[in-house]
Amino acid sequence: MYSTTLLSNQTILVTGGRSGIGYSIAENALKQGAKTVFIASRDAEKLNEACEKLKAFGDCRCFSLDIRQPEQVSKLADFIAAESGRLDILINNAGGQFPSAAEDISINGWNAVINNNLNGTWYMTQIMAKRFFIAQQSGNVINIIANIFRGFPGMVHTGAARAGVDNLTKTLAVEWARNNIRVNAIAPGIIASTGLENYPPELLKGISDRIPMKRLGSTQEVADLTLFLMSPLSSFITGETIYIDGGQRLWGDVFEL
Ligand SMILES: NC(=O)c1ccc[n+]([C@@H]2O[C@H](COP(=O)([O-])OP(=O)(O)OC[C@H]3O[C@@H](n4cnc5c(N)ncnc54)[C@H](OP(=O)(O)O)[C@@H]3O)[C@@H](O)[C@H]2O)c1
């Protein structure tokens, strides 16, 4: 659908790019002519396997890290600088959460999700911006968050973390516009992806019936929206959160409490 030269000369980092939505974003970017795609996440073995598969589509490289550890994020920036000399696009996709009634979430559980989905995204964004985007006077950050339009009943921790990222997306878009850096977010609804394997099947039973379009989204659909925001086709868009949810946010909550 898109031209295969849309991302020519672009060096891209996709956190959590070994699986699900992140993998589709990485594959799509390589198919659309990206110069190099870096993928980064914790499980080194699975990361290497994904990297080998992605090499069928272009130049893919990988780096194992935990986004919650800023010193590891700095080492990733060193790695990208040594391998490519620049970074053009950062996709903050790594993240995770677990369903729980608000009153049952432990301090550790709360901190784990906030650290991953808010702090990890922040460390990655600030470190990559200072190392590459501000120095280059060009950059593009895309944050994958979640459908937080009506709060996030059943997962208050990730709702709070994603709302933080939604807000920093707006702030950074304004602060860094002078550095020619765009910052946007994508809010997926329920996407048929590996992340759903972490949820109990009973939570997902009949879920399509509670989405106006009567189906789940695909990782390819999220990757195609990400591609639009990565590309010059969206060159005047910054500070936006785009929902991709089959209309779910306008209708109601999908998870039974
Ligand atoms: N699927 C959906 O319906 C949906 C809806 C809304 C939002 N989202 C969000 O979209 C993103 C991708 O979702 P998905 O369904 O494709 O899930 P997924 O397959 O579980 O992807 C999450 C990725 O993030 C990596 N990751 C998690 N914590 C990390 C950490 N601390 N440091 C580095 N890497 C980390 C994981 O790899 P390692 O385990 O190897 O670290 C994994 O590759 C997630 O942030 C998810 O919460 C998903």
Q: Residue 4 domain-assigned?
A: no
Q: Residue 181 domain-assigned?
A: yes
pLDDT digits (tens, 9 = 90+) for 34-80: 999 999 999 999 999 999 999 999 999 999 999 999 999 999 999 99
Q: What is the CATH number of the domain that holds 133?
A: 3.40.50.720
Lining ligand 1 with CB less than 6 A are: 15-16, 18-22, 41-43, 46, 66-68, 93-96, 116, 120, 144, 146, 188, 190-191, 193-196
Query: Considering its fold, how many domains does the chain have in total?
Result: 1
Q: Residue 257 domain-assigned?
A: no
Is the alpha carbon torsion for 25, 31, 33, 35 positive or negative?
positive
Atom of ligand 1 minimally distant from the CA of 188: 6
Q: Residue 5 domain-assigned?
A: no
- For residue 176, pLDDT over 80 is answered with yes
The predicted pLDDT at position 42 comes to 98
Distance 115 CA to ligand 1 centre (A): 14
- For residue 257, pLDDT over 70 is answered with no
With contact defined as beta carbons under 8 Å apart, do 256 and 214 qualify?
Answer: no
Candidate of 15, 42, 155 to mutate for ligand 1, largest count of ligand atoms within 8 Å of Cβ? 42
Q: Residue 137 domain-assigned?
A: yes
Domain that residue 197 falls in: 11-251
The span from the CA of 122 to the CA of 120, in Å, is 5
The span from the CA of 35 to the CA of 4, in Å, is 12
Residue with tokens 């950059």: 139
Q: Residue 50 domain-assigned?
A: yes
Distance 21 CA to ligand 1 centre (A): 8
What is the three-class DSSP state of 142?
Answer: strand
Token pair of 246 as six digits = 């089959």
CA angle at 238 for the pair 12 and 149, rounded to the nearest 5°: 100
pLDDT digits (tens, 9 = 90+) for 107-146: 999 999 999 999 999 999 999 999 999 999 999 999 999 9
Q: What is the mean pLDDT of residues 199-208?
A: 88
Q: Residue 61 domain-assigned?
A: yes
